[in-house]
Amino acid sequence: MLKEFIKAMLAKTPYRVLRYSAINRFQAIEDTLRVMRDRGYRPRVIVDGGAHLGLFSVGCASIFEGARMHLVEPQPSCAEALKALCAKRGFEFHPYALADQPGSILMTGTETPSTGAHMVLEPGPNSIEVAKITLDNLLENRLTREDRALLKLDLQGFELYALRGAGVALQSVEVVLTEVSFFAQAYEPSISQLIGFLDQSGFELYDVAALTARQRDNRLHQGDFVFVRKDSPLAADRQWH
């Protein structure tokens, strides 16, 4: 009872007590989106790139009620669960990998859904072939600036390839929430490359929503950054206090 009372009291303050974790520095994606909503951001369309089992989309649907949800996930092991979720919630499922060109691509394949599934450049014992599509093809004639779209990308290092296939779509996107890598293992872009690309596409870094570190030495290795269009109302208030 005492533990529950303390939790209830803490919930009324801006403070949180967390056990030390060498993996999660902090996780505040939903809180970040709620703050943006409270500042007037109301996307009509949300694209969940790397949807996995749809948890991000479900969370977004509760924050941005009425938004049209597009869930994009190439893993065959996720397909049945996502089809069921989309049928139940009125979301739209797209069984593709997001890339800079349409066609097919290899990725790691698992019998059960994996948050670590990723594209591979060479065939391997666990690689499978999946269809790939560009965001421009996926969203052709389905997106306008009035939609104030939110694009989320969690593609295990393939984010820049997906953005390169969104030259038209990005013009109608207001917010990009993307995973970033602090150092590369394969084809991940550097943070400076990602920021530079989005800067040239009309976006600026707006917030850091999450940071994670590797367990053995707590070195920061991934994060989730929020970029907003430079002419977005979200970017207009530049007062320090």
| CB hemisphere CA count around 75 (13 angstroms) | 25
Q: How many angstroms separate the CA atoms of 74 and 51, rounded?
A: 9
* In the chain, % of residues over pLDDT 70: 91
Mean per-residue pLDDT, 182-191:
94
pLDDT band of residue 17 (cuts 50, 70, 90) is very low
pLDDT band of residue 116 (cuts 50, 70, 90) is confident
Q: Considering the domain boundaries, does residue 76 fall inside one? A: yes
Phi-psi region of 185 (alpha: psi -120 to 50; beta: other; left: phi over 0): alpha
- Coil, helix or strand at residue 200: helix
pLDDT band of residue 143 (cuts 50, 70, 90) is very high
Q: Considering the domain boundaries, does residue 121 fall inside one? A: yes
Whole-Å CA distances, 58 to 66, 91, 128, 143: 12, 9, 28, 21
Q: How many domains does the chain have?
A: 1
Q: Considering the domain boundaries, does residue 194 fall inside one? A: yes
Q: Considering the domain boundaries, does residue 103 fall inside one? A: yes
109: its two tokens: 């394949």
Q: How many angstroms separate the CA atoms of 130 and 74, rounded?
A: 6
Q: Considering the domain boundaries, does residue 2 fall inside one? A: no
Q: How many angstroms separate the CA atoms of 48 and 97, rounded?
A: 12
> What residues form DSSP beta bridges with 224?
179, 210
Mean per-residue pLDDT, 190-202:
98
What angle do the packed helices 55-63 and 29-38 form, to 10 degrees?
A: 20
Q: In 66-104, which positions are buried (b, 16+ CB within 10 angstroms) versus exposed (e)?
A: ebbbbbbbbbebbeeebeebbeeeebebbbbbbbbeeee
- Coil, helix or strand at residue 210: strand
Q: How many angstroms separate the CA atoms of 170 and 151, rounded?
A: 9
Greatest Cα pair distance, the chain, in angstroms, is: 58
Residue type, 158: F
Task: Calculate the average pLDDT of the chain.
Answer: 92
Query: Which 8-state DSSP code applies to residue 235?
Result: G
> What residues form DSSP beta bridges with 68?
45
* In the chain, % of residues over pLDDT 90: 84
Mean per-residue pLDDT, 90-103:
98
pLDDT of res. 82: 98
Q: Considering the domain boundaries, does residue 5 fall inside one? A: no
CATH code for the domain of 41 = 3.40.50.150
Using one digit for the tens of pLDDT, what is the confidence trace for 156-173?
999 999 999 999 999 999
Q: Considering the domain boundaries, does residue 19 fall inside one? A: no
Which has more pLDDT, 9 or 181?
Answer: 181
Q: Considering the domain boundaries, does residue 169 fall inside one? A: yes
- Model confidence, pTM: 0.90
94-103, 107-116, 216-225: lowest mean pLDDT where? Answer: 107-116
Mean per-residue pLDDT, 180-199:
96
Mean per-residue pLDDT, 102-116:
92
Residue type, 216: R
pLDDT band of residue 23 (cuts 50, 70, 90) is confident
Contact yes or no for 45/149 (Cβ under 8 A): yes
pLDDT of res. 20: 47
pLDDT at 150 over 50: yes
pLDDT band of residue 19 (cuts 50, 70, 90) is very low
**Domain range holding 135?**
24-235
Mean per-residue pLDDT, 129-146:
97
pLDDT of res. 110: 86
Contact yes or no for 77/110 (Cβ under 8 A): yes
